[in-house]
Amino acid sequence: MAHQDDAAARDAAAPDARRQPLTRARLLAGAMAVADADGIAGLTMRSLAQSLGVRPMALYHHVANKDEILDGVVDAVFAEIYVPSTEGDWRTELRRRSVSARSVLRRHPWATPLMESRMNAGPATLRHHDAVLGTLRGAGFSLEQTAHAYALLDSHLYGSSLQESGLPFDSPDDVPALAEAFLAHFPAPSFPHLAEFTTRHVLQPGYDYGTEFEFGLDVILDAVARLRDRADGREDQA
């Protein structure tokens, strides 16, 4: 239903959009709108041209192929994510960056599998990665520690985003009904721990699976801080 609503809104705006000249920026914005509404599988040269009110061949005046469009929309997603400052407290900056990235990927769930897949990285992508690396290096992490920390943070970010995008509910308000239906599918005495977890945790007021992201993020940041301070993990700073 959400995808249908998004598509309807896009179609309603199409007459105004068709009067605008086609530019690369407008093409990429249109590509993101199609992907947000229909997923990355729904983004084709034909569907994009239709949404923009142009012939498919007109797109090739601005991009060589769909791969170039994917490069562009991934860079546009990175441009929406907070860029950590190398001048601030490293933990505060990287936490803010991860929370921001999760929020952006919830708006564009199709982007999660693509974020680290593009060989032709755009300026926002390069700026983002350089800032994260610079924040860690500026905080005293060795190159090896920086690699470990960055991999841990992104594994949590992208893994959580993929997991959340596959959950059978859109908001915490949907959880109680789904949990009740889930309980009805199995005999509680045969699976006591599962039943306990569902009834005494998931079905309790205020439960929100989304809070697990920030809990895990803080655990990782604690571990990363200990990694930096571990005497036997230090290497000469280049």
Distance CA 118, CA 131 (A): 18
Is the Cβ–Cβ distance between 135 and 90 less than 8 Å? yes
Q: Name residues whose C-beta falls within 8 Å of residue 75's C-beta, 6 or more positions apart in sequence.
A: 118, 121, 122, 123, 124, 125
Choice between 9 and 158, residue whose per-residue pLDDT is larger: 158
pLDDT (tens digit per residue) in 125-136: 999 999 999 999
Q: pLDDT tens digits, residue range 158-216?
A: 999 998 887 766 677 777 787 788 878 888 888 899 888 888 888 888 878 778 999 99
Distance CA 83, CA 74 (A): 15
Domains of the chain by range and CATH?
Answer: 2-63 (1.10.10.60), 81-233 (1.10.357.10)
3-state secondary structure of 197: helix
Is 11 within 8 Å of 30 (Cβ atoms)?
Answer: no
